[in-house]
Structure 1
Amino acid sequence: MQLSMRWLHDFVEDIPVGNREFAERLTMTGSKVEGWEEEGSELKKVVVGKILEITPHPNADKLQVCQLDVGSGTPLQIVTGAKNVAVGDLVPVALDGSHLHGGVKIKKGKLRGVESNGMLCSVAELGITTHDFPYAIEDGIFILQEDCRVGQDIREAIGYNDTVFEFEITSNRPDCLSVIGLARETAVSFDKPLKLHTPAVKGGHGDVNDLLKVRVEAPDLCARYCARVVKNVRVKPSPRWMRERLRASGVRPINNIVDITNYVMLEYGQPMHAFDQKYLKEQQIVVRRAKEGETIVTLDGVERRLSPDMLVIADQEKPSAVAGVMGGEFSGIMDDTNTIVFESACFAGPSVRITAKKLGMRTDSSARFEKGLDPQNCIPALERACELVELLDAGDVCDGIIDVNNSCGERRKLALESDWINRFLGISISEEEMAQILQKLDFEVKDGVVSVPSFRADIEHKADVAEEIARFYGYDKIPTTLVRGSAQGKLTEEQKFERMVNGTMQALGYSEIMTYSFISPKFYDKIGLPSDSPLRRSVTIANPLGEDTSIMRTIALPSLCEALSRNYLNRNLSAALYEVATEYIPKESDNELPIEKQSLVMGAYGEKADFFTLKGAVEELLDKARVFDYDVQPASDEYAFHPGRCAHLLKEGKVFGVIGELHPQVLENYELGVRACAAVLDFNALFALSDPTRQYQPLPKFPAVTRDLAFVCDDEIPVLKLKRSIAAAAGNRLEKVTLFDVYKGKQVAEGKKSVAFNLVLRSADGTLKDEDADAIVKKVRKALTDLGAELRS
């Protein structure tokens, strides 16, 4: 929205600040200023001159030598090739060292041997057009018909010196897409009175009901439709003051009738249209939905196909305009127009927006309608247009207004809860002060109740009322306080834990994947899930994209297998993937939302991917997660895993994960031609089992003693059981025990295995002697002998 300061001063006088302060104040009160521009600011040293004498150029037939009075006391000589100048004409004169539109600089010089001390200017060289000054010509010198004086700055002489501010208006404030709306904001911002004008129309040239009938057949899309008739229309250029304001607002002046509709749209924020009555069959206007296959040629000359969801303004036979968007080719003002119909209506915003988008034409009118306008503004805007018709002698206004009103004229009412507002904003002002701010904005306040003006449809809640008070109380006056009851801006412990898991997995060489939470029921068959498993009971999506995405997964393993398969089928030689995936466990009642739990799924295939590398990755993760003293036990009943190469992870007897190679049938189902291993860990259980406490240990003062021990034992004895027996026997002097070899071969009997451990022994009290270390080793040997393990010779 572009705002002319000259126009603004009609409503708010004596604004006591400069341009920058004005922009800052309006921005701080909620009307964001994008910038401002002074019209004609690039014109420098261009003045009004009067031609005193014209003589032929002695050396050029097409040039003339002019003597001009530019107010300096001495005639100025300028050579020109223009033929439309005469003695006595007032013209724009660019002096030596002047600047013109487009950055053109003028300096004195000689033309064919004759001195020329400047240049006579056309409208284009001043940065204006013949629309701004209809009496001017495009291809000649601008002969001024303005009331101006010799030597006067050209900007002042032609009114090209307004200051224009550009505002960014948010979609919830269509009232500010008008001069009056921004004037109201300005008046309250600077605590100045707002001078509003009530239009007055004389009329007296017949009855509108004898000349026009209006019928609204789509009241859901047209809240209000108002019309007045003007006879004996006299189409001519608008006066200079109107052309100046339209130009400053970015609108091209055309003629007095069209300019009046644009002027009222800018002043009141109410789009208007003027129909030529002779093109309205049977003098009727019908506001209806378009018919299937109906077309209209709009004012831009393009034929557009309409659909039944579009609103049109029609006569008895065909559409005359697309409601709220653009008129038809015969709805405009022509040279022979005699009688016009002024339309002022309120159309449904969503309808106008959809129509404009479908037709590919967004206009100033549709941009306003689509934001939702005030139906109560239709009559004042219509009256203002007719008042301007009489003021500009553009026609004879008929008596009466046709008003089809389908709107509700009641004001929305909200309680003025001053205590709540003070707490909400963190301020302390009286209810009277709040009421004064609101009343300046045209709110009515009585007995603690706020009546919202009809043009403020965005005020729906007491928080909106509080915002209005905060805007004009001053955001800069509100002290900085912590918002009560709000969460602190930091990660939760669970979020920190998840970030640690992600970082650890990526450090281990696993790439994160993100899969869909909705899957196909067939996925359960591909991983071999038993038909009677409770995991098959899933949440069914009411409007799925297709059968392959029709249910919410209860287990994330199929999604991981799909990702591994996709990589393998795309000829990736190896892959290591993981996901912290959400699973959805339905409750007993279908009306209740499912339980959402997270699982960490990880899988790999390739040359180095086997059960033990996966187990090592899981152990590293558990170590980083500070999950200690867990058990690893063989498992043979996991449907998706190889029965001889699978293990459960347990803590205090409860399973929180499973690791192993995928079942050969699962590999076949997913077209994986290599061995693949996977792990499924209960993420929520991991977080619960994580030990957050960290105990400081000083650096050791005394050297360590190491011993390597190799034992032969039954193949079925888990290494973890041996390791724990060593730790229990060695006591607190055992610093670390590490498995470094497992051997099966010719030197070891059938059904046996050789297991070798490295023991690191250290005493906190002094240097550990050999005899002390040997005593510890003796206890370890006895403990493992009791388990059936013999020291290997």
Structure 2
Amino acid sequence: MYVSYKWLQDYIDLTDITPEELAEKITKSGIEVDVVKALNEGVSGLVVGHVLQCEPHPNADKLNKCQVHIGEEEPVQIICGAPNVAKGQKVIVAKAGAILPGNFKIKRTKLRGEESNGMICSLQEIGVEGKLVPKEFADGIFVFPDDAQVGVDAMSLLNRDDHVLELDLTPNRSDCLSMLGVAYEVAAILGKNVKIPEVNKQESSEIAADYIRVNVEASEDNPLYVAKVIKNVKIGSSPLWMQARLAAAGIRPHNNVVDITNYVLLEYGQPLHAFDYERLGSEEIVVRRGKNGEVIKTLDDVERTLTNDHLVITNGTEPVAIAGVMGGANSEVQQETTTILLESAYFKGVTVRKASRDLGLRSEASARFEKGVDPNRVRPAIERAAQLIAQYANGEVLAGTVEADCLKIQNAVITITLEKINRVLGTQLTVNEVKNIFAKLQFEAVVENETFTVTVPTRRGDITIEEDLIEEVARLYGYDLLPVTLPIGSSIPGKLSMYQKKRRAVRRYLEGAGLYQAVTYSLTSKQMATQYALELRQPIQLSMPMSEEQSYLRLSIVPQLLEVLKYNLARNNDRVAVYELGSVFLSNEDNQLPEEREHLAGAVTGLWESHPWQGEKKLVDFFVLKGILQVLFAKLGLGNKIEYKQSEMDGLHPGRTASIYLSGKNIGFIGQVHPTVQKEMDLKDTYVFEIAIKDVLEAEAAPLQYELIPKYPSITRDIALVVNYDRTAAELVQVIENAGGKLLKDVNVFDLYEGEHMESGKKSIALSLKYFAPERTLTDEEVTKVHNKVLEALQEKTGAVLRS
């Protein structure tokens, strides 16, 4: 809801509060104000000008040379390219030195050899959205009415010296979908009174009932229908102030009659509709359900097919409007219209919503009916509109209204005790304080023995139970004044469990390592459901899937991450690294809920490092991804419990895949996507991993221990071992660590040789071993003794021999 600050002042005194201060108070009371926008922000130097002369530019076909009076001693010459500029017009002039939106400064200049001292502006050029500009000025400059005073501030005359507050309303606060509703809210916040617009009836001697009859067949959908007839209407432009207020609220001005119905809709929150009485085709209005296959062309010139779920307004024969949604083109008010049939009604929200959704047609009217309008404003709104049409369209309002009324209006009456209010809010409010809050809200409240009996006005249809009243007391008292307490219980409130802390640490680490978090669907196709599954079970099929591609619950996250990579690569984003911490679903016995397990998966492709100024590029490979996981496990205190063992898995490269083991238990895999899969998905070299994260986060980590920085030198011995081709480096490292004892502190693999100088079936692995003692300097004899023990163990357990 867009709320004009100047318009709001018609109903409530705001002289002592700025728009920004008002927005803050409204937000603190429970309705969030998203934006406060100054309509004239960054604009200055605009005045009303009078075009005295207008002739073609001597050196340009599409330009005009104008002499314009701007309230100064002498007229100024302005070159204008607008197609609708003409002599005698009152226009918007940006004088030399003026500033337009975007910090665009107007300077004296020459256009095709002719001097130009300013600019004649369109509404778009001064900051009005194109969709809000009246159609007659959409492709040219704006023209003021003839009575506009030359030289005055154009922005003020256009009501652009205003602020608009954008309210982010929740569905229950439909009362604030009107200026009066917002005025009641602001009055309650500020403790002020609301000024209701005065309606003075001036009716002719003719009676409306002589011109129209109303018959409502679908009374459940339309319990109240009110009609008035207005004759001798002159269609034209609405007043400038009204056009400005409509534009500030996001509605495009059309003509005086349509603008008045929209104005009253915004003012009262009650949708209205004006029919051309002469084009109606009968002297009867019949409200009924539509017929299957029935067609109506709406005001947007689109033919729409109706069903018997839709409520329509008819002339007894054919539809002339879709009730609560949009009028029909066959009864639209046009320039030649002289007699108006004005409609105000109470339509059932569910019925309007059904039609709006089915027809894909949403309007300001339907938005209000869906959420609920105030039944007590149906009649005041039509009287207000009739008065404005008489005033600004010279209409003659016929006496009386024609109605079909079976609506029973009942105010909600709620009883609540002071004790409950204070108990729920944790406050010590007195009877008078609570009664004063209800008075500010203009809720009638009777107090007896600290028990309030509150009669809620119909404009607040969201107040139906005791808790609603408590909420009203809390927000008017001030949420920031409510006492702050902690819940009482056996556990400390608000504390993360160790599992949750570790899970957050995982996310932070992976994002710090350069991976972006992805959130993908848990639903997938039958083909993808079992791909890359850590534990293969029968996939679970949905009984009512949205589509074939989302008909099964996933057993692995990796297939979805590959789709993320495919999507990005197809859009030239060739460096992608993503992870997801989500659920997979494993089937149990028949008629049992599936087992939901939390997994962590990642996928990376493209460049990992790129330093063009150093001529350095590094593509992602197996060891980049393995390194990320190794550091993750180390951060969780599990580095010494993790093993990687070469393995094979469908969909992964047979020579670049490893299973991950935690304390001997298989918890996941890491590897390169198989080349055939990469080709099918148009992927480059891609590496993935997936682990059962619950096993990792629940594993007992070794307690953190600190060691003194060594004061004594270490001794390093490098060895090259010849082993059978099927021996892994991990096996050698394991044997070395077991045999090295306390003096061996570090083992690293630094070379692998499989060249022509190596006998068939053998390979050479080079390792670096570091020995030191924290309390003394090691002797060569001590190191040699341990080192020989290591070599003997390698020979005995792996058959490794030193390479000569």
CA contact (8 A) 1:667 1:675 kept: no
User: CA 1:411/1:569 → structure 2, altered by over 3 Å: closer, same or farther?
Assistant: closer
User: CA 1:710/1:213 → structure 2, altered by over 3 Å: closer, same or farther?
Assistant: same
For normalisation by structure 1, the TM-score amounts to 0.65
Structure 1, 760-769 or 432-441: larger mean CA deviation: 432-441
Distance in 1 (alpha carbons) for counterparts of 2:200 and 2:572:
82
User: What amino acid is aligned across from residue 587 of structure 1 in structure 2?
Assistant: N
- Which residue is 2:313 aligned to? 313
| Structure 2 counterparts to residues 204-219 of structure 1, below 5 A | 212-219=212-219
2:599 match: secondary structure: strand
- 1:655 is the counterpart of 2:653: no
- Which residue is 1:180 aligned to? 180
- Which residue is 2:166 aligned to? 168
Shift of 1:701: 0.6
User: CA 1:400/1:594 → structure 2, altered by over 3 Å: closer, same or farther?
Assistant: same
- 1:469 is the counterpart of 2:473: yes
- Which residue is 2:226 aligned to? 227
- Which residue is 1:92 aligned to? none
CA contact (8 A) 1:2 1:248 kept: no
Shift of 1:297: 6.4
For normalisation by structure 2, the TM-score amounts to 0.64
CA offset digits 1:138-192 (Å, max 9, x no partner): 9999689xxxxxx9x999xx99999866443445444345453344234334423
- Which residue is 1:627 aligned to? 638
- Which residue is 1:535 aligned to? 536
**Pick from 501, 516, 520: which aligns with 1:492?**
501
| Structure 2 counterparts to residues 220-259 of structure 1, below 5 A | 222-230=221-229, 233=231, 235=233, 246=242, 249-250=245-246
Distance in 2 (alpha carbons) for counterparts of 1:567 and 1:193:
58
- Which residue is 1:323 aligned to? 323
Shift of 1:705: 1.9
- 1:434 is the counterpart of 2:434: yes
- Which residue is 2:373 aligned to? 373
Distance in 2 (alpha carbons) for counterparts of 1:646 and 1:3:
64
Shift of 1:626: 3.9
CA offset digits 1:686-722 (Å, max 9, x no partner): 3334737433223211111223456667777765455
User: What amino acid is aligned across from residue 440 of structure 2 in structure 1?
Assistant: K
- Which residue is 1:585 aligned to? 586
The runs of 5 or more residues in structure 2 that have no matched partner are 50-71, 76-89, 97-122, 127-141, 248-252, 608-617
CA contact (8 A) 2:502 2:697 kept: no
- Which residue is 1:780 aligned to? 790
CA contact (8 A) 2:38 2:163 kept: yes
**Pick from 691, 699, 704: which aligns with 2:709?**
699
User: What amino acid is aligned across from residue 379 of structure 1 in structure 2?
Assistant: R
CA offset digits 1:289-328 (Å, max 9, x no partner): 455665556678x575453365432112223334343465
Distance in 1 (alpha carbons) for counterparts of 2:485 and 2:214:
58
Distance in 2 (alpha carbons) for counterparts of 1:8 and 1:773:
91
2:774 match: secondary structure: coil
Shift of 1:537: 0.9
User: CA 1:427/1:230 → structure 2, altered by over 3 Å: closer, same or farther?
Assistant: same
User: CA 1:199/1:489 → structure 2, altered by over 3 Å: closer, same or farther?
Assistant: farther
Distance in 2 (alpha carbons) for counterparts of 1:612 and 1:229:
81
- 1:402 is the counterpart of 2:413: no
- 1:443 is the counterpart of 2:443: yes
**Pick from 686, 700, 703: which aligns with 2:696?**
686
User: CA 1:247/1:569 → structure 2, altered by over 3 Å: closer, same or farther?
Assistant: closer
Aligned sequence identity (%): 30
- Which residue is 1:762 aligned to? 772
User: What amino acid is aligned across from residue 758 of structure 1 in structure 2?
Assistant: S
CA contact (8 A) 2:320 2:327 kept: no
Distance in 1 (alpha carbons) for counterparts of 2:789 and 2:603:
40
Distance in 2 (alpha carbons) for counterparts of 1:341 and 1:355:
23
| Structure 2 counterparts to residues 66-81 of structure 1, below 5 A | none
- Which residue is 2:118 aligned to? none
CA offset digits 1:177-215 (Å, max 9, x no partner): 545334423433442344557978798968876754323
User: CA 1:354/1:170 → structure 2, altered by over 3 Å: closer, same or farther?
Assistant: farther
User: What amino acid is aligned across from residue 469 of structure 1 in structure 2?
Assistant: V
Distance in 2 (alpha carbons) for counterparts of 1:178 and 1:577:
46
Q: Which structure would you say has the larger Rg? A: 1
Shift of 1:598: 0.7
Distance in 1 (alpha carbons) for counterparts of 2:273 and 2:645:
83
User: What amino acid is aligned across from residue 744 of structure 2 in structure 1?
Assistant: L
User: CA 1:430/1:738 → structure 2, altered by over 3 Å: closer, same or farther?
Assistant: same
**Pick from 443, 455, 460: which aligns with 1:456?**
460
Distance in 2 (alpha carbons) for counterparts of 1:655 and 1:738:
24
Shift of 1:783: 4.3
| Structure 2 counterparts to residues 262-661 of structure 1, below 5 A | 264-265=264-265, 267-275=267-275, 280=280, 283-291=283-291, 302=301, 304-308=303-307, 311-324=311-324, 325-326=326-327, 328=329, 330=331, 332=333, 341-348=341-348, 365=365, 368-369=368-369, 371-382=371-382, 395=396, 397-398=398-399, 401-405=402-406, 409-412=409-412, 416=416, 428-446=428-446, 447-448=451-452, 450-459=454-463, 465-474=469-478, 492-501=501-510, 517-523=522-528, 535-544=536-545, 546-547=547-548, 549-556=550-557, 582-590=583-591, 592-600=593-601, 622-623=633-634, 626-630=637-641, 648-658=659-669
CA contact (8 A) 2:313 2:321 kept: yes
The runs of 5 or more residues in structure 1 that have no matched partner are 47-75, 80-98, 106-123, 128-137, 145-150
CA offset digits 1:397-445 (Å, max 9, x no partner): 5456523345x63444666576676687676533542332233323344
CA contact (8 A) 1:35 1:167 kept: yes
2:737 match: secondary structure: helix
User: CA 1:43/1:732 → structure 2, altered by over 3 Å: closer, same or farther?
Assistant: closer
User: CA 1:693/1:453 → structure 2, altered by over 3 Å: closer, same or farther?
Assistant: farther
1:697 match: secondary structure: coil
Structure 1 vs Structure 2 CA RMSD:
6.5
CA offset digits 1:585-629 (Å, max 9, x no partner): 123354525413315466999999999998788666655654244
- 1:102 is the counterpart of 2:93: yes
